[in-house]
Each structure stands twice: as C-alpha cells, then as structure tokens.
Copies of this chain bind each other. A is one copy, B any other.
Amino acid sequence: MLKTMLENVRKRCPLIHNITNYVTVNDCANILLACGGSPIMSDEKEEVPEITSICGGLNINIGTLNKNTIEAMFAAGKRANELNHPVVLDPVGAGASTLRTETANRLLEEVRFAVIRGNISEIKTLALGNGTTKGVDADVADRVTEENLAEMAQFAKDFAKKTGAVIAITGAIDLVADGEKAYCIRNGRPEMSSVTGTGCMLSALTAAFVTANPDQPLEAAAAAVCAMGYAGELAFERMSETEGNSTYRNHLIDAIYRMTPEALEGGAKYEMR
C-alpha cells in the first residue's frame, strides 16, 4: 500500500509550489527532487496564482512569514482550492507568536487543506488554542507517549473531522489521521531533531505524496511520514563517529533519493488505531 504511494510520486513527478521559509528552503527543494517530485518557490502575491496554477500541489509553511508572504499564502491557497490542487499546511511556530497563530487560524478558515502537518504543540495550538511551544519545537508537556497514545489518536481524528484535512502530528511517535482512522508510526531517530528543517522537509515531501496520490490523502501522508522516518534510520546507520548533524542532513536527503518503494514498504513501522 505505502509502496504504491512512492511509486506514484516517481511516476507522476508532481510539480509542487512552495511558499516556505528561507531557513530550510534549499533542503525542501532537494528533498522534493530526491523523492521524484519537482519544486518551484514563489512568494510574491502578484505571481503566486499563476505559479500555483501550473503546479500540481501547494505547500504552505509559515516558518519565516512576513506581511508580503502572508498575502501570497492566501492568494495561492485560494487559487489551489479552485483548481482542486492538494494544499499542505506546516504551521511552524504556531503558538510562538500572535502573528503565527492568527495567520495559521485564518488560513484554516479561508483555505481548504489536504494535510496539516506539525509538531504536537503547533497542532494543539490550532485545535485547542493552548499548545505550549519552545520556539519552533514541541514542548515536553505536550508529547505523544505510549500512555496517552489512544487519547492523542482520538484528538487527531477529531481535529481531522473538524478541518476536513488529514492531520499529521510528528514527533517520537507520529500520528497521521483522517476522521476515521489513525496511523501510529514508529519510524525515525531522535537525532533528526538536531537537523534544522526535518519538519519542513517532511511537509514538502507530503505535498509531493498527496499530489501524486490525490484520492488517498491519508495513505499518501502516512507514506511520506514513514519515508522520512525510515530515511532517518538509514541515514543514522551511515554515520561515522566523527560525523554530526550537517552530514546527517545529507544522508537523510540521500536516503530519500535512494529509497525504493519496496524498501519503504519493508521499513515502515506502523499500526492502525
């Protein structure tokens, strides 16, 4: 199943319009190329409707938003909705500033998202108005654990039902849910949090997967989350004792580049809730 998701990315080479932060934008572009997609970046309000029109999907990441790029997010999001292109939201730092929280909330009201992907604190901020963030990282207090897993899976399903989007909450344990079903995913390595932008890269990857598999947004998002986590495991195996987070970033993107659909199917670790 997950295998087919990646096969379709490789076959259909989805062109993804990214309005994303300038911190991790290069890694987002390279991971899109690594998975078989194609990136284009544009955040000028005047041109984004046209750019999004020539693409298959849209990835909106509020990581270094400003007044100009916020306008571009709405213009592109609405145009993508008109064209029925899948749109992914990465609400980076929602909860860390009023501007980020309000922008993310307004986006949820005015744009229809196929997938919302964030850490638990960001998603709680959007769903409940009370996530506690540590900058752009999730707070320990919010963490998804074995103990609260059933409860958190239900939380993800409820928010999916409310928004109509697949909800992907990523962390040590990942949850990917629509209103009915939730994937609990146990791929990944703790070292991934020492690389800037693994979340941003995953959102870009998710946009490619849902664009190439438009009728299966839940499975496509779950496949992207498994692929990223499994890449983190493979990348970790390649690490020598003198290598650190910069080389780990390269290994991560390389692992997506080399990942076959069969390897993804075999490496994915998940159960349904």
With known contacts A33-B196, A66-B44, A196-B33, A250–B253 Cβ distance under 8 A: no
A136 CB-CB contact with B under 8 Å: yes
Residues of A within 8 A of B (CB-CB), count:
66
Number of copies: 3
Min CB distance A9 to B, Å, is 14
Which residue of chain B lies nearest to A193 when distances are taken between CB atoms in the complex?
Answer: B33
A98 partner residues in chain B, CB cutoff 8 A: 47, 50
Select one of B65, B99, B242 contacting A238, CB under 8 A: B242
Asked whether B26 lies within 8 Å of A43 as measured between CB atoms, the reply is no
Which residue of chain B lies nearest to A137 when distances are taken between CB atoms in the complex?
Answer: B38
Q: Which of the candidate stretches A16-24, A80-88, A119-127, A178-186 sits at the interface with the other chain?
A: A16-24
Asked whether A26 lies within 8 Å of B29 as measured between CB atoms, the reply is no
Asked whether B196 lies within 8 Å of A29 as measured between CB atoms, the reply is yes
Min CB distance A133 to B, Å, is 8
**Complex CA distance for A98 and B51, rounded to whole angstroms:** 9
Which residue of chain B lies nearest to A99 when distances are taken between CB atoms in the complex?
Answer: B47
A-B contact pairs, 18 of them (CB 8 A): A22-B25, A26-B26, A26-B27, A29-B196, A30-B195, A30-B196, A33-B245, A34-B194, A38-B134, A40-B96, A41-B64, A47-B65, A194-B257, A238-B242, A243-B254, A244-B255, A246-B253, A250-B250
A21 partner residues in chain B, CB cutoff 8 A: 41
Q: What 1/0 mask marks residues of chain A from 186 to 203 whose CB sits below 8 Å from any chain B CB? A: 000000011111000000
Asked whether A23 lies within 8 Å of B26 as measured between CB atoms, the reply is yes
A110 CB-CB contact with B under 8 Å: no
Which residue of chain B lies nearest to A25 when distances are taken between CB atoms in the complex?
Answer: B23
4 further A-B pairs in the complex, CB-CB below 8 A; given A39-B135, A47-B65, A250-B250:
A38-B134, A42-B64, A243-B254, A246-B251
Asked whether B135 lies within 8 Å of A38 as measured between CB atoms, the reply is yes
Select one of B39, B43, B46, B249 contacting A196, CB under 8 A: B39
A15 partner residues in chain B, CB cutoff 8 A: 134-135
With known contacts A33-B194, A33-B196, A34-B194, A247–B244 Cβ distance under 8 A: no
A67 CB-CB contact with B under 8 Å: yes
